[in-house]
Amino acid sequence: MLSFSTLLFILAAVLMGALGWLLLARPALKRARAYITDVSTCGYLAPPPTPGWVRFLNVFCSVVTWIQVGRIRILGEENLPPKPPKDTKETEPFLVCPNHPHYVDPGVVVRVIRRPARYMAARGVFTFLRGFGALLAGPCGAFSVDLTQGKGGPAREAAIKVLTTNQVLVMFPEGWAYLDGKMGEMKKGAVRIAKEAAAQLGKPVKIVPVYLRYGRNPGSWIRKLPPTIEYLYMFLNSWYYRRGVTVVIGQAISSADLPDDDDQATEILKDRITDLDPLANG
């Protein structure tokens, strides 16, 4: 039987724990919930990633892509704009536009461009696991876009701000990942963002086309599944689809060389991306 002094000690410990929760844990959770709400909002642009978060993102993507993809082969790396000197924070703004044949594509691109960047990502990335995705994606430089037709305006404005503040922007013009390896419909957002940023900067903005070709993709049947089930299937069967990826980086397109018509400009961008497909080129 516990003595009276032992019971008092246990009670005091419980009270101190509860007090610590009230003073420390609850405010921290409240701040975390507020951050999740902000970062999950379409167009909300958190501060650029710190060097620590950039290192974390590189390590995280290295692990994930090793598990899911395997070897990453890069062609045309010289077509990326040069990195700025380490003694300056000034960078050349440019837009990286890959095709989107796998949910792990952002991790592959992180390993390919090897520099801090901002990433447009679907809102579902941030709401994943009740906001856990936002706690990872937000500090790493991602911002949310609502892919519902007509609701992506705030994200487009945020993307323009990224470029006009001399940051690198990564976006997938198809919007969704098409896991059968065939390109989906290209949205016009990429060319519109590049043109508007160029107008505000008073100089052209470069768009770097990129093609990702994985060693193995499912058939077209996978498009009939809900996105969550598609991703789960690929995750559980990574042992079968882990056949590496070839990343081909093309020569940059200047926004000044794009036609005024956004449909024509988007078609040019699509052609420049698909022309890089190593399977089509032997």
> What domains, with CATH codes, occur in the chain?
48-81+90-274 (3.40.1130.10)
pLDDT tens, position by position, for the chain (282 residues)? 545 566 556 666 666 666 565 556 566 667 778 888 888 888 889 999 999 999 999 999 999 999 999 999 999 999 998 877 666 555 778 999 999 999 999 999 999 999 999 999 988 888 887 778 888 899 999 999 887 877 888 999 999 999 999 999 999 999 888 999 898 889 999 999 999 999 999 999 999 999 999 999 998 999 889 888 998 899 899 999 999 999 999 999 999 999 999 999 999 999 999 999 988 765
Burial category of 18 from C-beta neighbours within 10 Å (exposed 0-12, middle 13-18, buried 19 and up): exposed
| Contact partners, residue 133, CB within 8 Å, separation at least 6 | 124, 125, 126, 127
Beta strands in the chain (DSSP E): 72-75, 94-98, 118-122, 142-145, 169-170, 206-214, 245-249, 253-254
Which residues, in sequence order, are bridge partners of residue 245? 72, 214
| Total length of the chain | 282
Q: How far apart are CA 277 and CA 282, in angstroms?
A: 9
> pTM for this one?
0.86
